[in-house]
Amino acid sequence: MIRSSCSILKRAKQGGITLLLHSTHLYKNLPHILADGRIHTARELIEKHGHEHAARFLHDPHRYEQFAVGLDYINCSLTVPNAELLYHRSKSDWKADWVHLTLDLSRLNHAETLFSPVSAAAEYGKYLQNGRDGFQAMFADVVHDFTRENLPQGEPTHPQAEVLIKGPVLLKDVHAVLVPSRDVGQEVSRLCERHHISLSVEITPHLFAWPARLVKHR
Q: What is the mean pLDDT of each run of 10 residues along the chain (218 residues)?
A: 63 94 92 94 79 64 64 93 70 71 95 95 91 96 93 93 95 95 96 95 91 64
Residue 179's pLDDT is: 96
Q: Please report, for the chain, the start and end positions of each structural domain, with discontinuous segments joined by +.
A: 8-217
Residue 153 Ramachandran class (φ > 0 left, ψ -120 to 50 alpha, else beta): alpha
Residue 58's pLDDT is: 65
Would you say 205 and 95 are in contact if contact means Cβ atoms under 8 Å apart?
no
Q: What is the DSSP string of 143-203?
A: ETTEE-TT--TTS-SSTT-EEEEES-EEGGGEEEEEESSHHHHHHHHHHHHHTT---EEEE
